[in-house]
Amino acid sequence: MGLFSRFFKNEEKEGLEPAPPEILPLRNDLCWCDSGLKYKKCHLEQDQLYLEKRRKKELAAKKACSPVFG
């Protein structure tokens, strides 16, 4: 890791793992990461946290762009 990359980290990508696929498997299907485990045992919780963070960011951006009356 270079000196500049230590100072100028991208804060958005720091806490996020790879994005889940657009179409998520069902709970008892095999996981999308090809680990051989069921989705509920492998990536279900991580994907739910990722999607919730993404929804919060979208909601904050929507509020920031809305007109203010009053």
pLDDT band at 62 (very low <50, low <70, confident <90, very high): confident
Q: Please tell me the chain's helix, strand, coil percentages from 3-state DSSP, rounded to the nearest 5.
A: 50, 5, 45
**pTM of the full structure:** 0.62
Residue 25 φ/ψ region, left for φ over 0, alpha for ψ in the -120 to 50 degree band, beta for the rest: beta
pLDDT tens profile 32-48: 998 999 999 999 999 99
- Between 5 and 43, the higher pLDDT residue: 43
pLDDT band at 4 (very low <50, low <70, confident <90, very high): low
